Amino acid sequence: MLRSMSDLLAHLNPPQLAAVTLPAQHALILAGAGSGKTRVLTTRIAWLLSTGQVGPQGILAVTFTNKAAREMQARLAAMLPINTRGMWIGTFHGLCNRFLRAHHREAGLPAQFQILDSADQLAAIKRLLKNLNVDDQKYPPRELMHFINAHKEQGIRAAQAEAYDHFTSRRVELYTEYEAQCRREGVVDFAELLLRSYELLLRNEPLCRHYQARFRHILVDEFQDTNRLQYSWLKLLAGRGSVAPENEGACLFAVGDDDQSIYAFRGAEIGNMRDLQREFELPNVIRLEQNYRSHGNILDAANALIQQNRGRLGKNLWTDAGAGEPIRVFEAYSDADEARGIVDEVAELVRDGVSRDQIAVLYRSNAQSRVLEHQLFTQAVPYRVHGGLRFFDRQEIKHALAYLRLIANPDDDTAFARVLNFPTRGIGSRSAEALQEAARQANCSLYNAAASLAGKAATAVTRFVRLIESLRGETSDLPLPELIDHVLEKSGLRQHYLAEKEGKDRLENLDELINAATGFLREESEPIVDGEVAPENGPLASFLAHAALEAGEHQAGQGEEAVQLMTVHAAKGLEFDVVFISGLEQGLFPHENAAQERDGLEEERRLMYVAVTRARRRLYLSHAQTRLLHGQTRYCLPSAFLDELPANLLRRTRRGGIGVPPGARQNADTGGQTPATAGLRIGQSVRHARFGVGVIVATQGSGPETRVQVNFGAAGMKWLALEYARLTPA
């Protein structure tokens, strides 16, 4: 039995009710964060069905994730006694797959066509380049994949692609060859699903009119995330494309929030919302502004921030839940100090009864997780990296550590095998197998077995062995951060990721590895206690052991309560009682790349808006005066976004030592000198464990950043960081 109309529409506020019960017409619902847009969408479908305006077969509902589609189906099944599985509810890719399965002949596809996921597509492109003898250094497979997909998402086939130079012209040729390879093999990639569906509807007018007549109501979630091709596909089905419907077209009901458009890098077009208003001649926009998630102070801050953007459709979030607590803003001395303060506060919140699952720490860049993870590890706080890998589990970090392990121990077969052909250096699987067999027969390491190889395999493998030997020799006297920097450069890792379109995050992580080494040395530079034996294996082996220990455990297990770590992008659609937004500094958030991109700063502000509106009850904003970058200390300016927040909503605090340089309290007893600098001056003779006796000739920096230049005679002039140099008066 159908639920009564009053039951169905109960608990809707007036704007939600207006949206749900709109007559059959095109509409744009501007739904703010936490305003109940999923409820509105689902209830709209249930209302259309229960009032007999349309049957289940006449509904087309589009979401952006499979999870959202399943949630919508579950809610509908709870509202109405219908089988939702037969309804067309799903993602763009899922619905297009369903359409092409039904019409594979018309689409020119085999009945059992296979879908390439991202990994499969990359493998297919690598195979294509190899078959065509194309240099994959000049035309990196991943970059070519992005080139192809970007054109498809714009509705551009290889035949229509424009090329203004030889390099682009060659990429277009490879796009043509890729299309031919996919046709031969009967496969389609994700972008092809939508493009093939759109093209079929465009050229087959009877089929297009059939679906225009079938779907009377088209409902779209997260409309601000649509790209140009997705919007064109929707317009075509709604009767506003080049194929006119026989009768009146379907009603397009779009729900979205232009203030949460943060996926321009994926091709999302924020302009689609304005185009929808103009092209569908929408008389008005229904705004859902009542927020059911956050307290008033959080919403007021979010409103003040986003009002700085131009060209918004405009809305103002509000709540009847009360103002709540002020937003806490704290300034740290350094990034390590910031992480320490955040984790201290997390521990206090947990003691006060807040569930760790309801605490999220957000950051703009993936690389920022490292210093946070380290502090959580140090204080034994269970955590989980949402939507990504822990720092030491990331591919680029594992590759870098493998090179470092080989410098420390060339007989490490696991490390040897990992980077033998990464970056690619012409060592195929056969050569690797021959090397492994030689090592097995001689009962020795892969490194030692290399000398016994012959032929083509021997040349490439020997070249790799020489690379490792040269790295060992060139780095023997370098401080640990410089050693890592040198290895990243000479191994080719940096160059490899520079060639990737999305290699920026990986490069930032590699730089963060240098920072990790710098921080490790600072932490390990405490004087050796009487009776304790100094490690013989040096800082590299100690750092590798430290990295292995941090990588090996401490991420929370399945079902265990844990603090949530994630980028702001990964946080979209989620909500937590307590949210920390870290690293609010110019160049970091907003990101320095924003200044070079059209409307880049506005997208960064929308990203900040998304971050702020994830918090239900308590919000922390933090920034640091200094931050390690490439192993060097960078002095930071607070993010301009902090100045855009009303001062009356903020409470500036310095909890857990935040804002106090490490060791400041101890320095009071030494007249402003740190323990490391006490008693040392220019002209003084000092002793170093490796370089022997020398004379201090210059100083630079202050506090924990102090460096001295020492003339060690035969060993030459050296700049040393006092925190870990362990200099003693001679």
Instruction: Report the 3 state secondary structure along 410-443.
Output: CCCHHHHHHHCCCCCCCCCHHHHHHHHHHHHHHC
Average pLDDT over residues 364-391: 88
Active site residue 37: yes
Set 37, 390, 494, 572: catalytic member = 37
What span, in angstroms and rounded, lies between the C-alpha atoms of 608 and 602? Answer: 10
Numbers of helices and strands, H then E, in the chain? 30, 21
Residue 702 has what pLDDT? 63
184 among known catalytic residues: no
Q: What is the structure's pLDDT at 7?
A: 78
Least confident of 34-38, 670-674, 726-730: 670-674
3-state secondary structure of 115: strand
Q: In angstroms, rounded to a whole number, what is the distance separating the alpha carbons of residues 618 and 629? A: 30
Place of tokens 């920026």: 504
Residues near 624 by beta carbon (within 8 Å), at least 6 away in sequence: 331, 332, 333, 334, 335, 337, 338, 583, 585, 636
Has 221 been annotated as catalytic?
yes
| Closest to 657 in 3D by CA, of 328, 335, 337 | 337
Average pLDDT over residues 295-299: 97
Residue 188 has which token pair?
Answer: 């389609």
Provide the pLDDT for residue 555: 58
What type of residue is 368?
A: Q
- The question of whether 614 is a catalytic residue gets the answer yes
Tell me which of 3, 21, 38, 308 is the catalytic residue: 38
Query: Tens of pLDDT along 73-108?
Result: 888 888 888 877 778 999 998 899 999 989 999 999
> Does 114 score more than 60 pLDDT?
yes
**Catalytic (active site) residue 599:** no
Three-class SS of residue 688? strand
- List the catalytic residue out of 235, 614, 616, 618: 614
Instruction: Look at residue 542 in the predicted model and tell me its pLDDT.
Output: 80
pLDDT band at 556 (very low <50, low <70, confident <90, very high): low
Strand order in the sheet with 27-31: 88-91, 59-63, 217-220, 251-256, 27-31, 286-288
Please confirm, yes or no, whether 320 is among the known catalytic residues. Answer: no
Residue pLDDT, tens place only, 273-285: 999 999 999 877 8
HEC per residue, 340-404: HHHHHHHHHHHHCCCCHHHEEEEECCHHHHHHHHHHHHHCCCCEEECCCCCHHHCHHHHHHHHHH
Say if CB 402 and CB 418 are below 8 A apart.
Answer: yes
**pLDDT at residue 657 tops 70:** no
The Cα–Cα gap between 606 and 297 comes to 18
Of all residues in the chain, the percent with pLDDT exceeding 70 is 91
User: Looking at per-residue confidence, does 356 or 248 come out higher?
Assistant: 356
Range from 37-46, 644-653, 721-730 carrying the lowest mean pLDDT? 721-730
In the beta sheet, which residues pair with residue 359? 578
Pairing of strands 251-256, 217-220: parallel
- Measured in degrees and rounded to the nearest 5, phi and psi for residue 266 equal -95, 5
Quick one: CA dihedral 353, 357, 360, 365, positive or negative?
Answer: positive
Assess whether pLDDT exceeds 90 at residue 28: yes
Mean pLDDT of 29-41: 92
Q: What is the pLDDT of residue 667?
A: 35
CA atoms within 13 A on the CB side of 432: 15
Q: How confident is the model at residue 10 (pLDDT cuts 50, 70, 90)?
A: confident
User: What's the CA gap between 117 and 123, in Å, rounded?
Assistant: 10
Residue 705: per-residue pLDDT = 63
Share of the chain above pLDDT 90, in %: 47
- pLDDT value of position 679: 60
Q: How far apart are CA 687 and CA 729, in angstroms?
A: 6
Q: What is the pLDDT of residues 489-519, one digit of tens each?
A: 999 999 888 877 667 888 989 999 998 888 8
The model's confidence at residue 634, banded by pLDDT at 50, 70 and 90, is confident
pLDDT of amino acid 666: 35
Q: What's the predicted TM-score (pTM) here?
A: 0.78
Choosing from 221, 331, 373, 550, the catalytic residue is 221
Average pLDDT over residues 531-535: 42
β-bridge partners, 710: 696, 718
pLDDT of residue 664: 39
Average pLDDT for residues 468-480, to the nearest whole number?
89
Distance CA 388, CA 397 (A): 14
362 closest CA partner among 93, 687, 663, 619: 619
- DSSP-derived secondary structure for 267-336: T--THHHHHHHHHTT-S--EEE-B-SSS-HHHHHHHHHHHTTSSS------B-SS---SPEEEEEEEEHH
Average pLDDT taken over every residue of the chain? 85
* Least confident segment among 267-281, 405-419, 538-552, 675-689: 675-689
CA distance 405 to 544: 7
Per-residue pLDDT at 3 = 54
CA angle 526, 629, 726 (to 5 degrees): 20
For 689: left if phi > 0, alpha if psi spans -120 to 50, otherwise beta; the answer is alpha
Q: Any idea what the Cα angle at residue 369 is, between residues 364 and 372, rounded to 5°?
A: 120
Catalytic residue among 260, 368, 674, 677: 260
Q: Is the pLDDT of residue 543 over 80?
A: yes
Q: Which of 222, 258, 269, 602 does the annotation list as catalytic?
A: 222
Question: How far is residue 688's CA from residue 696's CA, in Å, rounded to a whole number?
Answer: 12
Stated as kind and residue range, the H or E segment containing 70 is helix 66-79
- Residue 304 is predicted with a pLDDT of 97
How high is the pLDDT of residue 501? 67
Contact present, 217 and 255 (Cβ < 8 Å): no
CA distance 505 to 702: 31
Q: What is the pLDDT of residue 113?
A: 87
CA distance 595 to 614: 26
CB atoms within 10 A of CB 596: 8
pLDDT digits (tens, 9 = 90+) for 171-216: 999 999 999 999 988 889 999 999 999 999 999 999 999 999 999 9
